[in-house]
Amino acid sequence: MRSGTGGETTRLVCGYLACDRRLSELILAGLPRILKVNLRDSGIAGWMRTAVSYSIAESEAPRAGGTAVLAKLSELLFVEAIRQYMESLSPEQTGWLAGLRDRFVGRALALMHHDPAHPWTVDEIGKRVGLSRSALADRFAELLGQPPMQYLTRWRISMAAQQLVLGNRPLVQIAEEVGYESEAAFNRAFKREFGVPPATWRKNAGVIGAAAA
């Protein structure tokens, strides 16, 4: 593309990260359509510039293991971009990323993420983070737009969906790991969230993966 005369050449480098939107909804919903990362002023700008340059070099002259290197670099760059965005959020901002940054809701999320199989109640989580049951429920809903227990259910199902894609372990084992006492209860909750039973989800994921390969 040419516009006018003279001036330095601008080079555009494009890349992408692939994901299942249903499993990444929490992160994607909390992001703007366009996210600009400053590579000049921040303390980690030098590292990010180096990572981008290394990615370009790896793309232009592929070597053994290059695909894995590019994948990891892309993930690291994405994570750092998210971290910078979180630090720039205004106090009145809502959403999952704002919730992670909040002193109380962030700790509540950390508890649920760390041990989704625990039989959590809002009372217990409130005591752990230092808020009353009602105060935590209100603060959680204000930032994330849903009650704590509804969020926990969706988190458990998302974790189970990932495990179904990654391996061939029995459904009952995965159900127990994410907090369901029976396979039947797990099947009902999974179908409510994704519209299909977990066995169908696993089968479809395998077909899609084979086609991609």
pLDDT along the chain (213 residues), means of 10: 74 80 76 83 80 88 86 89 85 86 94 93 95 95 93 91 86 92 91 90 65 40
Q: State phi, psi for 2 to the nearest 5 degrees.
A: -125, 135
> Do 73 and 107 belong together in one domain?
no
Q: Is residue 136 part of a domain?
A: yes
Q: Give the Cα separation of 139 and 152 in Å (integer).
A: 15
Q: Is residue 7 part of a domain?
A: no
Per the CB < 8 A criterion, the answer to whether 140 and 105 are in contact is yes
- What pLDDT score does 133 carry? 94
CATH number of the domain enclosing 160: 1.10.10.60
Q: Is residue 12 part of a domain?
A: no
**Which residues are CB-neighbours of 73 under 8 A, at least 6 positions away?**
51, 54, 55, 58
Q: CB atoms < 10 A from the CB of 136, how many? A: 24
> Do 134 and 155 belong together in one domain?
no
> Do 101 and 80 belong together in one domain?
no
In which element (H, E) is residue 105 found?
A: helix 103-114
The tally of domains found in the chain comes to 3
> Do 207 and 175 belong together in one domain?
yes
- What pLDDT score does 86 carry? 85
User: What predicted TM-score, i.e. pTM, was given to this entire model?
Assistant: 0.74
